[in-house]
Amino acid sequence: MYKKALLLKQMKSLVLFTFSLVLFTACKQDKIVIPNTGQKLSINGLITTDSFFDVRIGETSLLSDSSYQSMTNAKVSIYQNNKYIDSLSSFPNDPHNGGTFVLGNYRSNNIFPVAGNEYKIVVNAEGLPVASASTKIPNEVKIHLVDTSRIVYPSIIPNENMTNVSMICNIEFTDPANETNYYMFMLDRYPKYGDIYFRSQDPIIEETLTGDNYGVGIVFSDKMINGKKHNLVIELGCGYFGYPFVDDRKWIYHPPATLEGPFYIKKTFYFKLYSITEDFFRYIQTLTLYNKNYGNPLTDPVMVNSNVNGGYGIFTGAAVSTDSLVYDYGKK
Amino acid sequence: MLKFISLLLFIIAYQFSYSQNYTISGYVEDVNTGERIIGAYVVDNISKQTAQTNNFGFYNLKNIKSKSAIQATFEGLTSKPIYLTLVKDTLINIKIQSVRELNEVVITSSLYNRDVNAPLGITIIPIKQLTSMPALGEPDLLKSIQNQPGIKGGVEGSAGIFVRGGGAGENLFMLDDVPLYNVSHFFGFFSTFNSSTVKDLKLLKGCFPAQYGGRTSSVIDVRSQDGNNQSLKGELSVGFVSTSIMLNGPLLSDKTTFMVSFRRSYFDTYSDVLKKFDLIGNNFPAYYFYDFNARITHTFSPKDRIFLSFYSGKDNIRGKNDANIIGETGLFNDNQNQTSGWSNFIGSLRWNHTFGNNIFANTTLAVSRYDYFTQEKYHSTNQDSVKGTIEKGYSANYNSSIYDIIVKTDFDYSVSNNHRLLFGGGNTFHTFNPGKNIYSMKDSELNEKTDTSFTNGLLHASEAYAYVEDEFKATQKLTVNTGLRISGLISESKMSINPEPRISVNYAMLPNLAFKTGYSRMVQYMHLLSSSGLTMPTDIWVPALKGLEPLKSDQINAGFSYNWNQKLLFSFEAYQKWLTNTTDYQNGASLLTDFSPWYEKTTQGHGSSRGIEISIEKQVGKLTGSINYTLSKADRKYADLNNGQAFPFRYDRLHDFNISANYQLSKKWDVSALWVYGTGYPVTVYVEQYLTLMRSSGQIFYYPSLNNCRLPDYHRLDLGFHYKKPTRRGEEILSFDIYNAYNRLNPINVYYDPGNLRFVYYYLLPVIPSVTYTLKF
C-alpha cells in the first residue's frame, strides 16, 4: 500500500546522492542575452460542474519583467459542443480565493459547466496572436460514502504547536470500467482560513498537491483500480498535517476572531472528488516535476504541459462529486 | 580432355610450389614479463611478408621460404631478428620489450609509419599516455579518451564520453571481451577502469569492423594485463582520491600467471574526519567506491591458453540520522539510515586455441551483472512510562538490475598474408529487472505489520549475432575490409533481426599518405534512459521490447593520414551519422514521476551528426603531444518533444580543440600540459513566464525550444609534473597535477534567479591540485 511513499523515498535517496555533488558546485551571477520570441496569451482555467465558468487570461512576459502583465481587455468567447454560447467579462474577484482580487480573471454568470459537454475558449487581444483551447468535462464519479475514525498517537513530540490526535477518513467510490479515468481529491472546509493538510499512503496516489487555493489535494489515475470500488484512505490532523484535532489544552493555535471564549471549533469539511481530464493530469505531473527540478543544476528544466494553441496554460474541466462532514469540537 | 589434364597438372604444380612455402605463427611477448602484445607487427626480412598480432598477441605469417629472418616491432621497438631454416610450419614466440616498462625511452623508430595505414575510425591509445598527461586526482582511462577528436566529455570533470553526437548509452565498454554496463564511479567523475591493470586500449568510433556490435556510437575495447610470468611485480599508488595496489606474477610455474588489483576511494574517511571536528554535520553522507580485478592465465600448450577473469566494483553512499529525545512520558530513540549504491560484476572464462597453424579461436563464457539499489530503514523506540516499550519502524528497498550470460566464439583465419578472415557468433541471455520495490512496516502500538512488494516483472531476451569479416589487401596500396553482421533480439513477445553491413577501404597512395573511406551500420537492442545530463546510477537500461524499436546508426566516413618525415602524423576525417529510434523520456517524465512503466514514459525519434576531425600527433622525441580539432554538429528530433522540431543535441559542440604536450626534461623529470577549448554546450533555459493555474505556485517559467541557449565557451589548462626515480626493483613516481590551473569557472548550467532578476551560472570545479605517489616494484 505504500508505493507512493516508496517513490518519495527514492526521490529522497536521489537527493542524498546529488547532495554531495551539489556541495562541490558554486554559482555566480551573470547576464546572458535572451532572445525575445514575442509575447503570447496565457489561458488558465479549471471549469467545474459545481462552480461558475471562470478563467484567467494573461500575457506572457520575459523573466526580466518583474510584474505580471494583466489582461483586462481581452475578448473571450466560449463555445459549447462547437456552438457559441457566451463571452466572458473581466471579473477580478477570484471565487476560489475568498473573493480576493485577482488580475486577469474572466467569468460568465450564465454558463454552468455540464459533465460530458465539450467547451472551447477563444481569446483575442490586441497585438497578440489568437489563443484557443478546448476541453471535454468527464462524467462525474460519485463518492458513495465517507467514513471516519479517530486515533490518538503517543504524546512523544515535545512541540506545543503540534497535536497527537488524527482522524482517518475512508472515501468510497467506484471507478467506471473500460475507460481511463483521472482523479483529483481535495478537502475544503468552512469557515475557510489557511490550508488544510492531510496525508495518505494510498498506493493509487501519483501526485500530491501542496498549498494551492483549490485546497491541498492528491491526484491519481485508475491504473490500479480500473472498474473497481475503491476506498481512499486519508489521515487528517496529527501535528504538521492539520490543526483541528487537538487533544492538548496547551495548544496555542488561535482560532478565528469570531470564535472567542472557551476553546471551540465547529467546522464543515467538504470531501471533493474531481473527475479530471488527461491534459490536467499531465499538467499536474509536469508542474510537480517542474517545481522539484527548479534550481537544481544537475537536472533538465521541465516544460509544463499546455493545451493552449497559440499560447500557454491549461484550460480544462472537471466533474465534482462532494460529500461533507461537520466537526464540532470543544466546549460550547 | 587435354584441357582437363592441363588444369590438373597446373593445380598439382601449384600445390607443389605452394608446399615449398611455410607458415610461421605464434605470439609476440614482452621479454621481461611474458605479457602478450596486441597490435605488434611481425616481419620476415627475407620474403618481406608481414603480419600483425591480434587481440591476444597471436600472429600468422604465411608464404615464408625455408630461410627466413623474422622480427617483431611494436610502438617503435624492434626485437632481434630470429634466423630460421624451415622444414615445416612452425610455432615461434617472439620476445620484444614493451613500452610500459620503458617510460624513459625516447622512441625514434622509423616504423612509426604504420599509423598511416591504421583503419579509419579506430584509435589505439598508448597506455603510456595515461600517466604522462595531467590528471584530475588520478590517471583515468576514459578521461584520456575525451581528448581524442570526435569525443566530447560530459559535465565538467566527468568521465562520460559522447562520441560523434551519440548518447552516453551508445558506447560499448568491453573489459576483456565482456561488456560493462556502468563504467562510472562518483556520478561519472571516475571510471571503473583501474589504469594500472590495463594493457591495451582501443577506441572505435567509425568504420566498425564486423566483429564489433551491440552499440551504435563507439566501442571502447579494454584489455587487462595477463600477469608477469618471470617474477612477482606490483604497483602501489596513493593519490588524492584513492589508493590502489596491483600485484602480478607467476603462479607455481611460468605457465600460470595471476594479476590482482584493488582500488578504494576514501571520501568517507574524509567525511568521518570532518565530522569528528564538527566541520560538517553528522548526517552528512559517507561515500566510497572500490574496484577489484583478478585474473589467472594458464598456458596448457603452445596452442591452448585459458583466462579466468573477475571484476567487481561498487559505489556506496550512506546517510544516517539518529535522535534521542526525552519526552513527557519517556525516552524516544529515532534511527534513520539511507543507503544507495550501484555495482558491476563480471566473470569470464576464455579459451584460446589454435587449429593447425592458421585458425586462431577465442571462446568466451561470461556473466555480467549490474545492480542499482536504494534502501531506507527507520526504527523508533519509545520507552513510555505508561505503555511500556513501543516500537515503530519501516524499511523500503528498491533495486533494479541487468544480468547477462554471454557465450561467444571468434575465429581468426589467415587465408594468406594479404587475406584474413574473421568470423564468429554469440548469444547474450539478458535478464532485466526494471525495478522492484519491497516495503515493510511495523507498529507495536497499533499491532500492525505489513510487508508489500511491487515489481515490474523480469524481462528475458536473447541477443544473438553472427558475423564474417574479410580483410583483403588487394594490391600493395589497396586494402579492403568488408563485413556483415546479422544480429537480433528474441523474446517471448518479439523477434527483431537486423543486418549490419560494414566496409572500410584504405588506399595508400604514397608510403606516407593513405586515403580512407568506409560505411558501417550498427544496431543496438538496449536503450539507456537518462534522467539528467550526468551519468547517474538511476539511468536505467531497458531492452528494445514493449513497443520500443532498436536503435540504429548509419555512418559514412572519409579521410586521410599523412606521415611527415617520420615525425608528425596528420589525420583528417569527415563523417556523417544518422541515428534512428533514439529514445528519451517524454516531456516531464522521469523514472520516478508516476506509476507508468518505462515504456509508457518514453518516446522515440531520430538524430544526426556530422563533422570533421583533424589531428596532429608527435610521438617521437623528447617533446611529444598532439593537437586535435573537431568541427561538428549534432541534433535530435522527436514527434512529441519540442513541438516536433529538431533541437541541438545536449552535447553538441561546434568547435572542440585541445593541445597536449609532454616534455622530457631529464631522465627523472618530465612536464606535461593540456589545454582544452570548446564551444559552450547547449542548455535549456527558461526565458519567459506566465501564471499557473495553481495560483499559489506563482509563475510558470517556460522555454520556447529545447536547448535554446548556449553556455559560455569552455576552456581549461591542466599541468602535470612527474618525477621518476629508479629503485632496486622498479621505479617510484611522484606526480604533481593541477587541474584547471588558471581557475576558469566553466558553467555547467544556468538558471534564472527571480529574486535578483538575474541569470545564475552554476559551475563545478575550480583549480584542483593533487599529488600521487606510485611505486612500481
> What DSSP character marks residue B689?
E
- State the Cα–Cα distance between residues A120 and A105, nearest whole angstrom: 17
Q: What percent of chain B has pLDDT over 90?
A: 37
DSSP bridge pairs for A148: A169
Count of CB atoms within 10 A of residue A162's CB? 18
Contacts of A15 in chain B (CB under 8 A): none
- pLDDT given at position A237: 64
**How far is B763 from chain A, CA to nearest CA, in Å?**
6
3-state secondary structure of B691: strand
What pLDDT was estimated at residue A258?
46
Q: Between the CA atoms of A279, A282, A284 and A290, what dihedral angle is there, to the nearest 10 degrees?
A: -130
Of residues A192 and B543, the one with the higher pLDDT is B543
Distance, CA of B715 to CA of B223 (rounded, Å) = 32
SS3 A240: helix
Furthest CA-CA distance within chain A: 64
If phi over 0 gives left and psi between -120 and 50 gives alpha, with beta otherwise, what is residue B150? left
**A28 contacts in chain B (CB < 8 Å):** 745, 760-761, 763
For residue A244, say if its preceding peptide bond is cis, omega within 30 degrees of 0.
no
Residues of A in contact with B587 (CB under 8 A): 286, 302-303, 305
Minimal Cβ distance to A312: which of B690, B745, B753: B690
Q: pLDDT tens digits for A283-293?
A: 988 888 888 77
DSSP assignment of B559-615:
EEEEEETTTEEEEEEEEEEEEEEEEEEPTT--TTSSS--GGGSEEEEEEEEEEEEEE
Chain A residue nearest residue B437, CA to CA: A6
Confidence of residue B389 (pLDDT cuts 50, 70, 90): confident
What is the pLDDT at residue B215? 95
3-class DSSP assignment, residue B776: strand
User: Is any Cβ of chain A less than 8 angstroms from the Cβ of B329?
Assistant: yes
Q: Which of A3, A20, A59, A305 to mutate to test the interface with B (most CBs of B within 10 A)?
A: A20
Banded model confidence at residue B164, pLDDT cuts 50, 70, 90 = very high
- The answer to whether the Cβ–Cβ distance between A289 and B590 falls below 8 Å is yes
Q: What is the mean pLDDT of chain A?
A: 75
Determine the pLDDT at residue A13: 47
User: Which of A39, A286, A300 shows the shortest C-beta gap to B684?
Assistant: A300
Closest CA to B434 of B210, B591, B268, B256: B591
* Contact: B374, A44; criterion CB under 8 Å: no
Per DSSP, the three-state class of B90 is strand
Using CB atoms, pick whichever of A19, A39, A304 lies closest to residue B285.
A19
- pLDDT bracket for residue B330 (50, 70, 90): low
Q: Assess B270–A contact: CB distance below 8 Å, yes or no.
A: no
Separation CA B440–CA A80 (nearest Å): 50
pLDDT single digits (tens) B642-680: 888 999 998 999 999 999 999 999 989 999 999 999 999
Can you say whether residue A258 is alpha, beta or left, with left for phi > 0 and alpha for psi between -120 and 50 degrees? alpha
Residue B62's pLDDT is what? 83
Question: Among A227-231, B19-23, B147-151, B602-606, whose mean pLDDT is lowest?
Answer: B19-23
C-alpha grid cell, residue B664: 622530457
**Which set of grid coordinates corresponds to residue B411?**
575465429
In percent, how much of chain B has pLDDT > 70? 89
The answer to whether A21 contacts B187, with C-beta atoms less than 8 Å apart, is yes
CA pair distance A227, A176, nearest whole angstrom: 5
In contact, A80 and A98? CB cutoff 8 Å: no
Least confidently predicted of A30-44, B266-280, B403-417: A30-44
User: Based on C-alpha coordinates, what's the Rg of chain A?
Assistant: 22
Burial A30-45 (b: 16+ CB within 10 A, else e): eebebeeeebbbbbbb
How close, in Å, is residue A262 to chain B by CA atoms? 25
Enter the C-alpha cell of residue B72: 617483431
| A105-108 vs A83-90, strand pairing mode | antiparallel
At B165, list the grid cell.
553526437
- pLDDT-above-90 percentage for chain A: 27
Q: B221 vs B375, which has greater pLDDT? A: B221
Q: What is the pLDDT of residue B422?
A: 95
What does the buried/exposed string (b/e) look like for B449-487 if buried means 16 or more CB atoms within 10 Å of the residue's CB? eeeeeeeeeebebebbbbbbbbbebeeeeebebbbbbbb
Q: What are phi and psi of B587, to 5 degrees?
A: -55, 130
Adjacent-strand bridge partners of A249: none
Size of interface A-B (CB pairs under 8 A): 239
Residue with cell 572500410: B504
> For residue A20, what is the DSSP state?
H
What are the beta bridge partners of residue B128? none
Q: Which of A11, A207, A297 sits opposite B748 (nearest CB)?
A: A297
Q: How far apart are CA B476 and CA B478, in angstroms?
A: 6
Mean pLDDT calculated for residue range B425-452: 78
Supply the pLDDT for residue A163.
55
Question: What is each CA distance from B100 to A65, B33, B196, B365, in whole angstroms?
Answer: 62, 11, 10, 30
For residue B607, what is its C-alpha cell? 538524430
Residue B12, number of CB atoms within 10 A of its CB: 10
pLDDT for the residue A330 = 52
Q: Is the pLDDT of residue A2 over 70?
A: no
Partners of B307 in the β-ladder: B297, B350
Among chain B residues, CA nearest to A295: B751
For B24, the grid coordinates are: 610461421
Shortest CA gap B497–chain A (Å):
34
pLDDT single digits (tens) A123-160:
999 889 999 999 999 999 999 988 887 666 655 444 44
Alpha helix stretches (DSSP H) within chain A: 3-22, 278-293
* Average pLDDT for B595-602: 75
Q: Is the pLDDT of residue B111 over 50?
A: no
Cβ neighbours of A308 in B, within 8 Å: none
Nearest to B605 by CA among B561, B644, B633: B644
pLDDT of residue B356: 82
Q: Is some CB atom of chain A closer than 8 A to the CB atom of B598?
A: no
Q: What's phi and psi for B363, nearest 5 deg?
A: -115, 130
C-alpha cell at B156: 565538467
Instruction: Find where cell 466560449 sits.
Output: A78
| Structure confidence by residue, pLDDT tens digits, B167-192 | 888 999 999 999 998 888 876 677 88
Q: Across chain B, which distance is largest between two alpha carbons, in Å?
A: 118
CB contact under 8 Å between A27 and B687, yes or no, is no
Interface residue B697 vs chain A (CB under 8 A):
yes
Whether residue B754 lies within 8 A of chain A, CB to CB, comes out as yes
Site of grid cell 600445390: B15
Are B595 and A3 within 8 A, CB to CB?
yes
Average pLDDT over residues B676-686: 90
Who wins on pLDDT, A48 or B136? A48
Q: Does B537 touch chain A (CB under 8 A)?
A: yes
How does pLDDT run across B68-82, given as a tens digit for each residue? Answer: 888 888 876 778 888
- What's the rounded Cα separation, in Å, for the pair B307 and B328? 67
Mean pLDDT score, B518-537: 79
Does the pLDDT value for residue B248 go beyond 90? Answer: yes
Contact B758 A207 (CB under 8 A): no
